[in-house]
Structure 1
Amino acid sequence: MGKLVVREVIGTTSASTPDKAKPFLDELCDAIDSKRTTSVDFSGLSTITTAFLNNSIGRLYSLYDVKKLNEYIKLESSSLTPFQREKVQMVMQNTKQKLSQEEIKGEID
Structure 2
Amino acid sequence: MPYYSLPENIVWTEVAPGNHRAVLSERPELMLVAFRFDKGAVGALHSHPHTQVSYVAEGNFDVTVDGVTSHLGPGSSFIVAPDLVHGVVALTDGLLIDTFTPRRDDFLMSPS
- TM bucket, shorter chain: 0.3 to 0.5
Which one has a larger percent strand, Structure 1 or Structure 2?
2
Q: Could you tell me the TM-score, scaled by structure 2's length? A: 0.32
Which one has a larger percent helix, Structure 1 or Structure 2?
1
Q: Could you tell me the TM-score, scaled by structure 1's length? A: 0.33
